Chain A
Amino acid sequence: MSKRLTCDVVVVGAGMVGAACALYLARAGLVTLVLDRGPVAGGTTGAGEGNLLVSDKEPGPELDLALLSGRLWHDLAAEPGIGGAVEFEAKGGIVVASDAEGMAALTGFAAGQRAAGVEAQVVDADRLTDLEPHLAPGLAGGVRYPQDCQVMPSLAAAQVVRAARRAGAELRTGSAVTDILRAPDGSVRGVRTTGYGDVHAPVVVNAAGTWGGEVAALAGVHLPVLPRRGFVLVTEPLPPGTVRHKVYAADYVADVASGDAGLQSSAVVESTAAGPVLIGASRERVGFDRTFSLPVVRRLAAQATALFPFLGTVHAMRAYLGFRPYLPDHLPAIGADPRVPGLYHACGHEGAGIGLAVGTGHLIAQSLTGGPPDLDLTPFRPDRFTGAGEER
């Protein structure tokens, strides 16, 4: 490339979050370039389930972001050619409890969520099979969350990148960012890339997901994004309607909130448009270890068959794993980094990034165009980590 590249904003990362940032930035009129060292959705986005959940979030900033994102996802899905192409399904979630004690805790949790704007309907035990005919007998009850939705994450990132390009954004894959260029006053003036030399821009958005800490380090700032490994089991295709909602056991919420490095797992079961049922959601901190773990997927399978006994007669075709970008307080980093003028972060969404991406992109665009953001970004401040004793 002999021509020097110049733009308003460089987005580092072409996963779901980078795609959403690019979409809202381009639509706000900013000349936007998305860079990724690999392909679109080549990292965590392509290795998840596509959950757009409010059900697993307690009242607080992440839930507020999930509710905002839910509205934006509905808007996006209603745009011509997007909803079907990303397999958007507003199927709702059902969280079930196995005993009376669990049901009491779940009902209390749901009451708090309702006060925060979540639709949550208590379902008595004898009504569960009306909603999910193949659920195990003997469950204590559940809560139905109509706002939970689903997309196919790789398609979602690809289609949102496409929409961003229609709005004027440019995409360059296969080109890594090796440095963040700074002016003498410390502010961002661009990035150095392996494929296109120096790209000049006054703003860089770090949407590098699990690798967001490395991108932050290029600008000399500390952002402790850690990988949390998650396995997903894929069954053979099953008839439509076999599993109708996103169904999981109430224990999942405690697993998500855990900071324990050891294995947590609780099955989240959902069907896909293509037919296979996905069984997800182990979480363990083992670095970037890609070793297949039979004990983990065996445990997932056992938990899934406890929810849906018929799964015991169904083959698992394969399993895949991804590294969820985890920040110590389980909140993403969103917004301007006060330590480096021009550097913005949009990463660290852990296992919720597909859902939270659109709210994140919208908020990034708002903060770059000077408007008041729809949400208070203080809880998401990228400089909130001191580096001492936080990596619990």
Chain B
Amino acid sequence: MELAGARPGPPFTVTLDGDEIDALPGQTVAAVLWSAGITSWRGTRGSGAPRGVFCGIGVCFDCLVVVNDRPNQRACLVPVTPGDAIRTQEGTGHDELG
């Protein structure tokens, strides 16, 4: 096997619900969370059932998460930047409405 020899840029940290986790440039939120062993970060609107990545390509809207106070971001699509505040999402993520 011939390795590509990729050398990612210097690592940085983001937070999930306030806890720091390591990230590499170019990773999506989902990749960062998976790398940290976290597979679920949302509770569904009806029963609060746990959700994480399903399709992984931006189609199914299952991996929704709050990034820097914006709810309903697709974790599989959004790239992380240093210091991002990621939060788990319950329901619609719009408790301020209703």
Interface residue ranges, A against B (CB under 8 Å): 134, 236-242, 275, 310, 314-315, 317
Contact = CB atoms under 8 A, between A and B. Distances in A.
Given A275-B92, A315-B72, A317-B61, A242 B97 contact: yes
28 contacts: A134-B97, A236-B71, A236-B72, A236-B92, A236-B94, A237-B45, A237-B92, A238-B92, A238-B94, A238-B97, A238-B98, A239-B91, A239-B92, A239-B94, A239-B95, A239-B97, A239-B98, A240-B98, A241-B98, A242-B94, A242-B97, A242-B98, A275-B45, A275-B92, A310-B97, A314-B94, A315-B72, A317-B61
Contacts of B45: 237, 275
Contacts of A236: 71-72, 92, 94
Contacts of A275: 45, 92
Contacts of A317: 61
A45 B42 CA distance: 33
Contacts of B97: 134, 238-239, 242, 310
B72 to A, nearest CB: 5
Contacts of A241: 98
Interface string B40-79: 0000010000000000000001000000000110000000
Nearest to A314: B94
A310 B92 CA distance: 15
For the complex of A and B, 8 pairs with smallest distance between CB atoms: A239-B98, A242-B97, A236-B72, A237-B92, A241-B98, A239-B92, A238-B94, A239-B97
Interface of B: 45, 61, 71-72, 91-92, 94-95, 97-98
Contacts of A134: 97
A238 B97 CA distance: 8
Nearest to B96: A310
A380 B12 CA distance: 70
Contacts of B92: 236-239, 275
A337 B4 CA distance: 73
Main secondary structure, interface of A, reads loop
A132 to B, nearest CB: 12
A314 B70 CA distance: 9
Contacts of A238: 92, 94, 97-98
Contacts of B72: 236, 315
Nearest to B64: A236
A374 to B, nearest CB: 41
Nearest to A315: B72
A376 B40 CA distance: 60
Nearest to B72: A236
Nearest to A308: B97
A279 to B, nearest CB: 15
B31 to A, nearest CB: 22
A238 B72 CA distance: 11
A246 B76 CA distance: 34
A238 to B, nearest CB: 5
Contacts of A310: 97
B74 to A, nearest CB: 10
Give the one of B45, B71, B94, B97 with max A CB within 10 A.
B97
Nearest to A236: B72
Contacts of A314: 94
Contacts of A239: 91-92, 94-95, 97-98
A237 B93 CA distance: 9
Given A236-B92, A236-B94, A314-B94, 8 more contacts: A134-B97, A236-B71, A236-B72, A237-B45, A239-B94, A239-B95, A240-B98, A241-B98
Contacts of A315: 72
A314 B72 CA distance: 9
A317 B91 CA distance: 16
B45 to A, nearest CB: 6
A312 to B, nearest CB: 12
A314 B91 CA distance: 15
A310 B94 CA distance: 11
A240 B94 CA distance: 10
A238 B95 CA distance: 9
B64 to A, nearest CB: 8
A207 B71 CA distance: 43
A342 to B, nearest CB: 48
A315 B72 CA distance: 8
B68 to A, nearest CB: 13
A252 B61 CA distance: 32
